[in-house]
Amino acid sequence: MRFILASNSPRRRELLSELVPAFKVVPSLFEELSRAGESGKKRCLRFAEGKAREVFSRFPEAAVLGADTVVALDGEILGKPKDGAEAFEMLRLLSGRTHSVYTGVCLVTPEGERKGVEETLVTFRPLTDGEIEAYIRTGSPFDKAGAYGIQDSGFVSGYEGSYSCVVGLPLERVREYIKEMHLC
């Protein structure tokens, strides 16, 4: 059975290659619209489902994996920053604090689907304005929820849970789904 990743994320592509040797990348046309009052956990699962199901509707013979990552602090969802000022504000909020990173995953096949959400608690060390500004100048914050990458920021002092969840694809959960669906 052909395996499809419903994501254009280079980080998800790299992570999935650790589990699935050959797959196709087909970005989803699912429209990611926020809902008022929706928790980060519910939103990332809804978006993962929407992405996977939309691509599956075009490739109904394939196994399709969708994923979505959300950073949440005190119930507020921190998405991808629109500009440097928004990235600065997000990183200033996260400085010296612990927040949740949720990654929802949905694997859809002709035989059914598996879906769930992984949560990892991430703690930032205190950041200086200069560190934040230097990181923003790299351009890295702009394609990442919460304006940072655990793999490239150097801001994280610790985490509880799945490292790959924070990068964008919880490998442990995806491996479990692949086994349950007899795809390996």
pLDDT digits (tens, 9 = 90+) for 91-132: 999 999 999 999 999 999 999 999 999 999 999 999 999 999
Q: In this structure, what CATH number is given to the domain that contains residue 44?
A: 3.90.950.10
Indicate if 68 belongs to the active site: yes
Q: Give the range of the structural domain holding residue 57, as residue numbers without chain letter.
A: 3-180
Strands 98-109 and 63-73: antiparallel
The pLDDT score that the predictor gives to residue 141 is: 95
- Where on the phi/psi map is residue 154: left (φ > 0), alpha (ψ -120 to 50), or beta? left
Q: Residue 73: how many CB atoms within 10 A of its CB?
A: 17
Is residue 85 scored above 90 in pLDDT? Answer: yes
Quickly state the pLDDT bin for 86 (edges 50, 70, 90). very high
Half-sphere CA count of 109, side-chain side, radius 13 A: 15
| Number of domains comprising the chain | 1
Q: Residue 47: how many CB atoms within 10 A of its CB?
A: 23
**What CA–CA distance (Å, rounded) separates 88 from 121?**
21
Share of the chain above pLDDT 70, in %: 100
Amino acid present at 107? L
- The one catalytic residue in 68, 74, 143, 152 is 68
- Over residues 148-152, the mean pLDDT reads 93
Mutual angle of helices 84-94 and 129-137, in 10-degree steps: 140
